[in-house]
């Protein structure tokens, strides 16, 4: 006697169960399988693929390059008149306060790379540098990056504001 033909909903249920079991994911739909939920196998497969793609996209956004994110945030700051004014203030203060740090780094690192670089600073509400990133990451820039975390530059427009400073080194 031939086996009874399975319905499309039964095949979809098995497909969902298999995918969920293989991935180890607990999903509320797993409890609904077999309880009158009717969906074609192709529609279930489309939903599973879409969910997988969307989770991959959100994961890649979370793993974004921190320097690129800081650069975009600093550009957004500089796009406003108030932000440009604060960025100019930071640039002036940087030239005044960090010249000795740059000289110290030039002495500390072997064969310092004197290429120009940008510094991205995340400044707290109190004006303290919370995070410093550099682009490109030359040996001199990396040395300076570590020294900037103790610098108080002055209160920004809002907490955790990113600003950038272009560092142009003069070669002797």
Other beta carbons within 10 angstroms of residue 151's beta carbon come to 18
Do 75 and 151 sit in the same domain of this protein? yes
* Boundary residue ending a domain (62, 82, 107): 62
Taking only the tens place, the pLDDT of each residue in 84-135 is: 999 999 999 999 999 999 999 999 999 999 999 999 999 999 999 999 999 9
Q: Give domain status of residue 150, yes or no.
A: yes
Do 75 and 41 sit in the same domain of this protein? no
Q: In the chain, what's the furthest Cα-to-Cα distance?
A: 94
Question: Is the full-model pTM beyond 0.85?
Answer: no
* Bridge partner residues of 33 (DSSP): none
CA 34, 38, 43, 49 dihedral sign is negative
Omega of the bond leading into 136 within 30 degrees of 0 (cis): yes
Do 85 and 143 sit in the same domain of this protein? yes
Do 42 and 110 sit in the same domain of this protein? no
Residue with tokens 């957004």: 76
Q: Give domain status of residue 155, yes or no.
A: yes
Taking only the tens place, the pLDDT of each residue in 38-86 is: 555 555 444 554 444 445 544 544 568 999 999 999 999 999 999 999 9
**CB–CB of 160/124 below 8 Å?**
yes
* Boundary residue ending a domain (62, 81, 108): 62
Q: Is the pLDDT of residue 34 over 60?
A: no
Q: Is 113 helix (H, G, I), strand (E, B) or coil?
A: coil
Do 119 and 34 sit in the same domain of this protein? no
Residue 27 DSSP label:
-
Supply the range of the domain harboring residue 143. Answer: 66-167
Q: Is the pLDDT of residue 31 over 50?
A: no
Do 110 and 151 sit in the same domain of this protein? yes
Taking only the tens place, the pLDDT of each residue in 155-166 is: 999 999 999 999
Do 151 and 75 sit in the same domain of this protein? yes
* Boundary residue ending a domain (43, 62, 81): 62
Do 86 and 150 sit in the same domain of this protein? yes
Q: What is the pLDDT of residue 67?
A: 96
Q: Give domain status of residue 84, yes or no.
A: yes
What is the token pair recorded at 98?
């960090």
Q: Give domain status of residue 41, yes or no.
A: yes
Do 56 and 95 sit in the same domain of this protein? no
Q: What is the mean pLDDT of residues 138-164?
A: 95
Q: Based on the structure, what is the number of domains in the chain?
A: 2
Q: Give domain status of residue 172, yes or no.
A: no
Residue with tokens 């797993």: 30
Do 143 and 118 sit in the same domain of this protein? yes
N-to-C CA span, the chain: 94
More confident of the two residues 142 and 15: 142
More confident of the two residues 103 and 170: 103
What is the token pair recorded at 101?
């740090």
């Amino acid at each position: 006697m031939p086996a009874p033909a399975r319905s499309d909903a039964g095949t979809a249920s098995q497909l969902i169960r298999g995918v969920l079991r293989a991935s180890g994911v607990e999903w509320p739909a797993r409890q609904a399988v077999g309880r009158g939920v009717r969906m074609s196998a192709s529609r279930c497969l489309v939903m599973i693929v879409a969910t997988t793609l969307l989770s991959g996209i959100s994961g890649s956004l979370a793993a974004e390059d921190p320097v690129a994110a800081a650069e975009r945030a600093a550009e957004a700051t500089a796009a406003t008149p108030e932000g440009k004014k604060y960025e100019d203030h930071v640039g002036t203060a940087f030239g005044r306060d960090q010249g000795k740090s740059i000289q110290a780094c030039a002495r500390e690192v072997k064969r310092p790379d004197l290429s120009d670089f940008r510094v991205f600073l995340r400044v707290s509400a109190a004006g303290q540098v919370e995070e410093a990133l550099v682009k490109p990451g030359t040996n001199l820039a990396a040395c300076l990056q570590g020294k900037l975390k103790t610098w108080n530059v002055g209160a920004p427009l809002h907490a955790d504001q990113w600003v950038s400073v272009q560092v142009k080194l003069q070669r002797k």
